[in-house]
């Protein structure tokens, strides 16, 4: 696979597969970078109660392309505080 230059995107599950069979993409979103060269693989997990058989040609994931801009990080002596601060992992959902 080869994505257009400066475009990349997350691989996402298809909702119908999850709704009907309980099968979804395990590492979602799995981003495909524009400089990646190779076969695209999708890791599926069956959260349903019955075995699921994947048939050749069946669509199991989708990709939404987005422009990816290169970023240059700058090292700084200190970072100014924000309202959020260093809270992570659901800290902004508390009321």
What confidence score (pLDDT) does residue 92 get? 66
Torsion (CA) 5, 10, 11, 17 in degrees, nearest 10: -140
Model confidence at 95: pLDDT above 60: no
Q: Are 33 and 3 in contact (CB under 8 A)?
A: yes
- The better pLDDT of the pair 25, 51 is held by 51
CATH numbers and ranges of domains, the chain:
7-89 (2.70.40.10)
pLDDT digit string (tens) for 31-87?
Answer: 777 788 888 888 899 999 999 999 999 888 888 888 878 889 999 999 888 887 777
What confidence score (pLDDT) does residue 94 get? 60
* Rounded Cα gap, residues 6 and 78, in angstroms: 31
Q: What pTM was estimated for this model as a whole?
A: 0.62
What confidence score (pLDDT) does residue 93 get? 66
């Amino acid at each position: 696979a080869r994505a257009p230059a400066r475009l990349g995107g997350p691989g996402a599950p298809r909702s119908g597969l999850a709704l009907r069979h309980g099968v979804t993409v395990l590492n979602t979103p799995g981003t495909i970078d524009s400089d990646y060269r190779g076969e695209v693989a999708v890791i599926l997990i069956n959260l349903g109660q019955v075995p699921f058989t994947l048939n050749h040609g069946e669509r199991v994931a989708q990709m939404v392309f987005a422009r990816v801009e290169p970023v240059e990080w700058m090292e700084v002596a200190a970072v100014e505080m924000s309202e959020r601060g260093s809270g992570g992992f659901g800290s902004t959902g508390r009321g």
